Amino acid sequence: MSEIQSLTLRRPDDWHLHLRDGEALAAVLPFTARQFARAVVMPNLKPPVTTVEQAGAYRQRILKAVPHGLQFTPLMTLYLTNVTAPAEILKAKASGFIVGCKLYPAGATTHSDAGVTAIEHIYPALEVMQECGLVLQVHGEVTQPEVDIFDRESLFIEKTLAPLTERFPYLKVVFEHVTTHKAVEFVQQARQGVAATITPQHLLHNRNAIFQNGIRPHYYCLPVLKRETDRQALINAATSNNPRFFLGTDSAPHAQHTKENACGCAGMFSAHAALELYAEAFEQAGKLDRLDAFASEHGADFYGLPQNSGEVVLERTEWTAPEHYPFGQDRLIPMRAGEKIHWRVRTEHSA
Ligand code: NCD
Ligand code: ZN
């Protein structure tokens, strides 16, 4: 049998992650800390993390929740608003623990109502970010109700992102969780300093998954899953060894009852099997050998951080993802709940 049975990777990082807070944080952080050395932590708490002081306090709560024996470094972000002061950006840079600022167009996704209503409002902040080298992380979707949900990312590129990357020619920009072939093409052709993260769900599924034999709220995330042709473009980008594309799970836990609801929340939880799900996607493309660079090198290089020194081993082992995990007083339904996963991460810390 010539199938690869195990794969050793440099310890990876997750460049886009939702950890929430309180009991939810305690419930989900161990999954990420087990696999990843670092993660870029999204600031869309309620209320959002808009100041360095809040980010510092949140960082301390995260560090406290790291299980004993695991090494994990949270890389913090600030949530940009219409009134983010340039002075706060300078303070963020000086903190040493903040790597970037997140642009949520107001109303685009979960907890984005405090986001930016017109891009001009953040020009002063972007000016300073460009000067001091903080990364702009972008949720790239327009929000006008008349624009079809499947076209929101493409239109955002045209209306906002392309002009922005020209207006601020040295600003480092990560186009988060890209979902369309248009986004892939944009990133491939953009100026230097523009990159993108790709989630496991957008590599493994197209939008049919949301409607298979009924409506499936656990396949609902934002940006929403797209067409098969888009998925193929994402697979090609992720497995191309192009340093502009790297791992960002967008693992976004929500309590079961808030997803299985007449108005269900957007977000899929993948941290319990993040690297394993990426491995499946890369293997399907016949490109398992490219996973290391995507998961463990490109992101660190883009952010100007050292690559990690430890290793993780992925083994070909079939296991069944639990139907649910505890989530404070609630339950969390993970990606692939009750279904088989074909790889398993073994770390120095796990049996
Ligand atoms: C994220 C969340 O739940 O915080 N949801 C999602 O569907 N991805 C927000 C986001 O990243 O858009
Ligand atoms: Zn996200």
Is the predicted pLDDT of residue 303 greater than 50, yes or no? yes
CA 309 to ligand 1 center in whole angstroms: 30
**pTM for this structure?**
0.97
Task: Determine the atom of ligand 1 nearest the C-alpha atom of 139.
Answer: 12
pLDDT tens-digit series, residues 202-260: 999 999 999 999 999 999 999 999 999 999 999 999 999 999 999 999 999 999 999 99
The C-alpha atoms of residue 128 and residue 27 are separated, in whole angstroms, by 36
pLDDT tens-digit series, residues 50-93: 999 999 999 999 999 999 999 999 999 999 999 999 999 999 99
Is the predicted pLDDT of residue 350 greater than 90, yes or no? no
Is the predicted pLDDT of residue 112 greater than 60, yes or no? yes
Distances from the Cα of 118 to the Cαs of 107, 115, 301, 327, in angstroms?
A: 12, 9, 31, 36
Using an 8 Å Cβ cutoff, are 245 and 310 in contact? no
pLDDT band at 351 (very low <50, low <70, confident <90, very high): very low
The one catalytic residue among 250, 289, 292, 330: 250
Using an 8 Å Cβ cutoff, are 61 and 76 in contact? no
Is the predicted pLDDT of residue 349 greater than 60, yes or no? no
Mean pLDDT of 176-193: 98
pLDDT tens-digit series, residues 120-134: 999 999 999 999 999
CA 267 to ligand 1 center in whole angstroms: 5
Q: Which residue has the tokens 């299980």?
A: 67
pLDDT confidence of residue 348: 60
In the 8-state DSSP scheme, what is residue 82? T
* Residue with CA at minimum distance from ligand 1 atom 5: 267
Give me 10's structure tokens.
């440099």
